[in-house]
Amino acid sequence: MFVAVISLTLLGSALGLFLGFAARHLEVEGNPLVAEIQAILPGSQCGQCGFPGCAGAAQALADRNAPVTLCPPGGRAVVQALALKLGMEANLSDVADNVPMMAEIKEEICIGCTRCFKVCPTDAIMGAAQQIHVVFREACTACGKCEEVCPTESVKLQPILVSIQSWYWNKPFAGGAI
Amino acid sequence: MKLFDLRGGVHPEGRKNLSAERHIRALSLPKYLFVPLQQHIGAPASPVVNVGDKVLKGQLIAVAQGAVSSSIHAPTSGVVVALGDHVAPHPSGLPVPTITLQSDGAEKWITCETIADPLALSPEDIAARVGAAGIVGLGGATFPSALKLNLSRSSGVQTLIMNGGECEPYLTCDDRIMRERAVEIIEGIQLIAYAVAAKEILVGIEDNKPEAIAAMQAAAQGTPVKVVAMPSMYPMGSEKQIIQVLTGMEIPAGGRPADIGVLVHNVATAYAVQQAIRFGRPLISRIVTISGGAIKTACNVEALIGTPVQELIDFADGYSQPAARMVLGGPMMGQQFTNTNIPVVKGTSGVLALTQSEIGQAAPSPCIRCSTCIRACPVGLMPVEMVSRIRASDLAAAVSFGLKDCIACGSCSYVCPAHIPLVHYFNYAKGDLATQERVKLKQEATKKLADTRNERIARIERERAEAAARRKAAREAKERAKEAAAQAATETV
Amino acid sequence: MTPIAHSPHAHAPVSIGKVMGTVLLALTPATLFGFWLYGWPAINLWAISIIAAIVGEALVVRMQGRAVRPVIMDGSGILTAWLLAISLPPFAPWWIAVLGSLFAVIIGKQVFGGLGQNVFNPAMAARVMLLISFPLEMTSWIAPDANAPGFMDSLRVTFMSQHMDGMASASLLGHVKTEFTRGVGLDQALAGYYSPLHMLLGSRAGSLGESAALLLLIGGLFLIARRIITWHAPVAMLLGVAVPALIFNAINANHYAGPMYHLLSGGLMLGAFFIVTDPVTSPNTATGQLIFGFGCGLFTWIVRTWGGYPEGVAFAVMLMNTLTPLIDQYVKPRIYGRDRKGAALTANKGA
């Protein structure tokens, strides 16, 4: 029995020492930016961005091959941090923080140019030349195309406010229970 | 009469003696009345008055909109001072569109049509008058009554069940109205039975209200109305349970009582129906129980719709001690509120100010799977399993355990020794599923819209291309003709 | 502003602590009887078990970074240790109690995620672990009619494993099993060893608090009356033992003992009223509990009759524990308005 214990102990220690030595002295220098970006990402490797895990996403970001808004689970916080790190401007409207939105038209500054309802993919905007346009809540998908073409910034995506019809109970906070 | 067994149920302490012996008294007229446009299930009513309009008591101020809706009438005479948002009797505390009425103190009625022999009216006419009077289910469900009458008449009703269960602790408003207005209620019941051509009429009253049973039995003498004492148990007053205990039948899942030839109405609704048909008076007031350990003088009042709850609390001499929780309705299914400016609405059965010891709530502790909730569930669900799925955000699994059959009676939460807010989880899950369903429907609708648009654009392009091709062909033909002509000309020359 | 509370705004005056407290109360008569029967060593063992469970659980919960107080105050650890203690041989050494208690609350319960999450009954898991690991210490029974040692002697018994001469005995189940291996028939093996009245009252060699069948029965009935447990699992377990015993006893009375022998011996009464009724590890529905209880009884009888160990309650319970999720999967109450398969009932107008 002692032979077995001693031999296994020695084998384990030797291999452990070797691995430790290898990690310290044979390390390959990576791009430090990639590592820094990876630190910002959630690290959940969900793959929603289309890259193989957060490391792949970090590499793509460092190569400027991906927008800073690529990470849906990260939300606004990650987008802002990435934009800061890469010195890019972030378009936060690309990141919906899970709040339902819809386009709203400020009637005072709408000039009735009809550009928005021409681009609307779901015909959610009604109007005619020189007339104020209206958005149908039920048809608007909050794609934001109207916002891009509006010459007066009259169309803006706004969060849909909770109404008595859409309100429902929150998930109870159970603490350490159950 | 033979009663049938129910499964589950709980026996919370009744505490009805706080207010059971107090006669119904009319509340003094408040200065301002806040009448929300939605006091019923369905679409909100649409206002037909403007700010500054003078209205009479009982005048129509908002008209039903769409298939499921109910009209709303001025609770007193006065002036409309605002059409806008006011805090609603709803757990969200969100404001809802509300007509604010300043009372003039005259209490001047509209001219009401009195009908001496209502049974001479046609059943359709009775349903129409019930609808015009803005009557909704006063047991708390607030489903428009006229709609229920029409649906039941068209599908045929064997049994009309009048719900006098009042199984919620504290509440005595139905108890009092049955004791004091039994004759009117029996007349209202017969009108409802006539309107739906019911063959059997049962009034189910829990046996903890012997005086109400006696009064109703006396009033029902010589009528086909049968008053039945039911065992006291929560939730006996729930529609599904009262049908089961009186008839032994169950409503098929996802169905309505009409599917099994039953119609259930609350006894207070019968009173409102009688008032509307006999005296042409719309529903502008209701009986409310003011009770709870923190209320000085618990009592029953007849309050105008729109009366701020604070007026009711003042009427009950205010608080005897600071209330730990204010509740609208009964303690089992009622809603907590914090703003005492909320108005009494058609579905308000009680205003409770409860002390901490009455609530008896403790911090949740781990579930020990004791299955007390399973034994308490009157529907046969397994709350313990549903909650563990909902906690893991697996709502689909919770649905497969019967989440949608839950009647949210709160029996499981009441008995849970671990004080887990089971029914809160279920209502959260139901709300989340409804929202997901809405999103899905919207996505389908918008996808269809996008497809239509794409088709249209494609068609326009195609038409444009065709038109261009036609023009080109025409032009070419013309050129060819010209050329031919020119050629012909040269040839001739 | 505090959030709006969801209904109901009334709650039954119950809590986990009260449930556990009531179970402890129901265990007290049998435990006190065990103390009277075996004296100070039994008391030492009981106290050590409970202290070890509390300390061990507190340490583990603290390591998990959770609040210690509510976990200790819910009383479940104490109940587990108590159940384990009364299933130990009364003169077992102190480290048996400590090891068993720590195993029960840490491996048996906290490792799974704490109260309500464990798959196996912690007390039974610990008992099985001890039985397999320390068969000698776990089967050193004491004759109850011997003079119980005083307090000072008891310390030597508990802490220094000093054997009390002339007090060693065998439990009835162990005795019969040994006699069988020697080829002795039941009629001879039981002669002078088995008296149903003594079995009922509990003056027999056995575990610390398992022997008083009558007192355990009274405790169980008290729990049923207080609606802490239901009758389903206990009755089913007793039937699960009695029915096969009756059948096989009728076939060969000299080899298979009758139902009374089985019902009154070993840990069956404790198991039926205090172990298979453990809510965490038993099925949720009444039907499920009937199946579960009957299975526990049946396997107990099988282990006792054909197995290698004289007593099988702990093994049977652990085996059935593994089936609990399966039983819960298949045995569900019928939902209102639906048939057993979950399809909506068909409308039967005016039936």
Residue recorded with tokens 């009908």: B115
Q: Which of C5, C76, C117 sits opposite B325 (nearest CB)?
A: C5
Q: Which of residues 243-302 of C touch B (CB under 8 A)?
A: 279-280, 284-285
CATH assignment of the domain containing C130: 1.10.3430
H helices of chain C, where? 16-38, 40-63, 68-73, 76-86, 94-102, 122-133, 135-138, 151-160, 172-181, 186-190, 196-201, 213-225, 232-251, 259-264, 268-270, 286-306, 313-330
User: And the tokens for C136?
Assistant: 């000698």
Instruction: Say if A124 is an interface residue toward chain B (CB within 8 Å).
Output: yes
Looking at every residue in chain B, the average pLDDT score rounds to 92
| CA distances, C75 to each of B122, C80, C81, C107 (Å) | 68, 9, 10, 17
Q: Are residues B97 and B236 in the same domain?
A: yes
* Cα C166 → chain centroid: 29
Closest CA to C67 of B290, B363, B262, B147: B363
What ranges do the domains of chain A cover?
A: 32-94, 101-159
Residue of C1, C2, C7, C15 to mutate, interface with B, max B Cβ within 10 Å = C7
- Which string of DSSP letters, residue by residue, matches C332-348? -PPPTTB-TTSPBPPP-
Residue pair A170/B359 in contact by the 8 Å Cβ criterion: no
How big is chain C, counted in residues? 351
**Rounded distance, CA C109 to CA C281, Å?**
11
Partners of A137 on chain B (C-beta within 8 Å) are none
Interface contact A165, partner B, CB < 8 A:
no
Task: Tell me the torsion sign for CA atoms C171, C175, C178, C180.
Answer: negative
Answer yes or no: do B424 and A169 touch at CB < 8 A: yes
Output the pLDDT for position B178: 95
* Cβ <8 Å between A176 and C116: no
C3 close contact with B: CB closer than 8 A: no
| DSSP string across C57-94 | HHHHHHHTT--HHHHHHT-HHHHHHHHHHHTS-TT--H
Q: Write the single-letter amino acid at B54.
A: K
Angle between helices B422-492 and B383-391 (to 10 degrees): 50
Chain C residues in contact with B379 (beta carbon < 8 A): 335-336
By the 10 Å C-beta count (0-12 exposed, 13-18 middle, 19+ buried), B378 is classed as buried
User: Could you give the CA distance from residue B491 to residue C19 in angstroms, rounded to a whole number?
Assistant: 119
Nearest CA-CA partner of C316 in C349, C270, C251: C270
| CB contact (8 A) between residue A176 and residue C3 | no
Min Cα distance C103 → chain B (Å) is: 20
Domain for residue B11, yes or no?
Answer: no
Choose, out of A164, A171, A173, A178, the residue to mutate when testing the contact with C (most C CBs < 10 Å). A178
Q: Could you tell me which chain A residue has the CA closest to the CA of B451?
A: A122
Query: Model-level pTM greater than 0.80?
Result: yes
Per-residue confidence (pLDDT) for residue C351, from 0 to 100: 41
Q: Which 3 state secondary structure label does DSSP give B332?
A: coil
Look up residue B2 and give its amino acid.
K
Let me know whether B292 and B398 are in one domain. no
- What pLDDT is attached to residue A99? 65
Q: Say if C116 is an interface residue toward chain A (CB within 8 Å).
A: yes
Which residue of C66, C67, C116 is in closest CB contact with A178? C116
Residue B186 is predicted with a pLDDT of 96
B255–C347 C-beta distance less than 8 A: yes
Is the separation of the CB atoms in B286 and B89 below 8 Å?
no
Q: What is the pLDDT along chain C (351 residues), one digit of tens a residue?
A: 457 889 899 999 999 999 999 999 999 999 999 888 888 888 999 999 999 999 999 999 999 888 898 889 889 999 999 999 999 998 889 999 999 999 999 999 999 989 989 999 999 999 999 999 998 888 888 777 656 677 777 777 777 776 665 566 777 777 777 777 777 777 777 776 777 777 777 777 788 888 888 999 999 999 999 999 999 999 999 999 999 999 999 998 888 888 888 998 888 999 999 999 999 999 999 999 999 999 999 999 999 998 888 888 999 999 999 999 999 989 999 999 998 888 888 865 444
Q: Which of B366, B427, B450 sits opposite A169 (nearest CB)?
A: B427
pLDDT for position B122: 92
- Specify the amino acid at residue B366: P
- CATH topology classification for A32-94: 3-methyladenine DNA Glycosylase II; Chain A, domain 3 (1.10.15)
Of C15, C335, C347, nearest to B259 by CB-CB distance is C347
Q: For chain A, list residues whose CB is within 8 angstroms of any CB belonging to chain C.
A: 169-170, 172, 176, 178
In a domain, residue C5? The reply is no
Last residue of a domain, one of B304, B332, B363: B304
Cα gap B402→A124, rounded to integer Å: 37
Q: Predicted ipTM?
A: 0.87
| CATH number for the domain whose boundaries are A101-159 | 3.30.70.20
Mutate to test the interface with C, among B365, B384, B391 (most CBs of C within 10 A): B365
Largest CA distance in chain C: 80
Nearest by CB: A174 against B90, B96, B364: B364
Q: Supply angle C-alpha B421, C75, C84, rounded to 5.
A: 130
List all residues 6 or more positions away from B6 whose beta carbon is below 8 Å from its beta carbon: B233, B236, B241, B244, B245, B378
Nearest to B295 by CA among B268, B314, B274: B314
Q: What residues contact residue C49 under an 8 Å CB cut-off, 6+ apart?
A: C81, C82, C84, C85, C88, C97, C98, C100, C101
Any idea what the Cα angle at residue C108 is, between residues C102 and C114, rounded to 5°? 100
Chain A CA closest to residue B388 = A178
- Pairwise CB contact (< 8 Å): A178 & C66: no
If one counts the domains in chain B, the total is 2
Q: Which of B304, B330, B350 is the endpoint of a domain? A: B304
Q: How many CA atoms lie within 13 A of B203 on its CB side?
A: 35
**Encoded tokens for C108:** 């048996």
Domain of residue B415 covers: 372-432
The pair of structure tokens assigned to A152 is 């007066």
> What is the distance between the alpha carbons of residues B235 and B332, in angstroms, rounded to a whole number?
9
Q: Which residue range forms the structural domain that includes residue C217?
A: 16-330
Write down which chains contact chain B via at least 3 CB pairs under 8 A.
A, C
| pLDDT, tens only, B53-66 | 999 999 999 999 98
Q: Mutating which of B384, B438, B446, B454 best tests the A interface, going by the most A Cβ atoms within 10 A?
A: B446
Q: Mean pLDDT in runs of 10 for chain B (493 residues)?
A: 88 93 92 93 91 94 91 95 90 88 92 89 93 91 91 89 94 95 95 93 94 95 94 92 93 90 94 95 95 94 95 94 93 92 93 94 89 94 93 88 94 94 94 86 80 86 92 90 84 68
Phi and psi, residue B116, nearest 5°: -75, -40
Q: What's the domain count of chain C?
A: 1
Is C3 within 8 Å of A169 when comparing Cβ atoms?
Answer: no
Residues 6-45 of C with CB under 8 A from B: 6-16, 18-19
The pLDDT of residue A177 is: 45
Q: Which residues of chain A have pLDDT under 70?
A: 29-30, 42-48, 72-77, 90-99, 174-178
Q: Looking at chain B from residue 142 to 201, which residues have their Cβ under 8 Å from any Cβ of chain A?
A: none
pLDDT digits (tens, 9 = 90+) for B237-287: 999 999 999 999 999 998 889 889 999 999 999 999 999 999 999 999 999
Q: Which stretch of DSSP H or E encloses residue B131? A: helix B123-132
Q: For chain B, give percent helix, strand, coil, nearest 5.
A: 40, 20, 40
Contact B114, B87 (CB under 8 A): no
**Closest residue in chain A to residue B369, using alpha carbons only:** A178
* pLDDT on residue B408: 93
Q: Which residues of C touch A164 (CB under 8 A)?
A: none
Q: Residue B492 CB: number of other CB atoms within 10 A?
A: 6
Q: What is the reported pLDDT for C261? A: 87
Intra-chain end-to-end CA distance of chain A, in Å: 47
The pLDDT, as a whole number, for residue B416 is 94
Residues 42-101 of chain A with CB under 8 A from chain B are 100
Closest CA to C5 of B360, B390, B343: B360
Closest chain A residue by Cα to residue C68: A176
B23 DSSP assignment: P
3-state secondary structure of B269: helix
Please answer yes or no on whether C3 and A170 come within 8 Å at the CB atom.
yes
CB atoms within 10 A of CB A53: 16
C192: contact with A, CB 8 A cutoff: no
Task: Let me know whether B78 and B208 are in one domain.
Answer: yes
Assigned domain for B282 exists: yes
